[in-house]
Amino acid sequence: MLPKELLKEVRRIEIKTGHLVDSLYSGGYRSVFKGRGIEFAGIREYYRGDEFRSIDWKVSARTGRFHVREHIEERELQLVVALDLSASMAFGSGSREKRESAVEFAAAMSLAAERNNDRAGICLFTDRVEKFIQPAKGRTHVLRLIRELLYFIPQHRKTDLKAPLDFLNSTLNRRSIVFLVTDALGIEPIERELRIAAAHHDLIMVLVRDPREKNIPDVGLIEIENPETGEEAILDTSDPVAVADLLLRQQQRDENFIKTCRRMGLDIIRLTAGESVVKPVCQLFSERERRMTNLK
């Protein structure tokens, strides 16, 4: 039996992300994510109009008549959310931390998968994989995922995206939808791992930012600390040059992140702490549907 506090929090997440889950269930989820592919269904005799590419030449040679291999599309999907739980994800200048918005996103995607009778799993990481729950089906399983997302306490503070990518590349034995949720400042050192993951899975990067990482108010001298290394520095927020330099460096890091992803053909969802996770996901779905329409 789940504690009342957890059930209350799960219910809050379900209500807050209800629009997203409903929109996914109504068709967008299925139309923008491809299934595992095609599954062999059997062999039958060739009929006029069948594609020559589907002919099974061994069976045809053995029987003396053309036979074709039939396949059906496998619709069951497998979804994994890899969530960064490093110390920097605990930052929040408003009502919500980056981690809280990331958890909301992960819970919504898991609930959507459960409603579509798909498998869902999570990979919680810092500079190493700290918790992995294999993708599975069912309401009880998804409640377990949400419980871990809400209450898991990481043992380490730093970030290393290579860790979850290496782990998932070697662990997932079938094509999956993988959301890599992080506030990482750079991904250049792990391009190889990203390429491997993108070749085997539908990899989508989810970049999480706080409003104060884009706009620093004038409040005089403040002490800033790197939560992952503990390094401290003093910033004069009244100095427009110093503030502009800090924001420019952050912007350049984000642009490099996005350029690297685009160069490898990876989609990106951008979340802002404290804001709805619905709009960015719906934007991605619209972009994917538009691309699919243009390819037809």
Return d(Cα 157, Cα 175) in angstroms, integer: 30
Written as six digits, the tokens of 45 are 């005799």
In which residue ranges of the chain is CATH 3.40.50.410 found?
76-295
pLDDT for the residue numbered 36: 45
- Weakly modelled stretches of the chain, pLDDT under 70: 1-3, 6, 16-20, 23-31, 34-41, 49, 70-75, 185-188, 225-230, 292, 295-296
pTM: 0.80
Fold of the 76-295 domain: Rossmann fold (3.40.50)
CB 251 within 8 A of CB 269: no
Tens of pLDDT along 55-91? Answer: 888 888 988 888 887 654 555 789 999 999 999 898 8
Q: What is the DSSP letter of 138?
A: S
Burial of 291 (0-12, 13-18, 19+ CB in 10 A): exposed
62-98: buried (b, 16+ CB within 10 Å) or exposed (e) per residue?
eeeebbbeeeeeeeebbbbbbbbbbbbbebbbeebbb
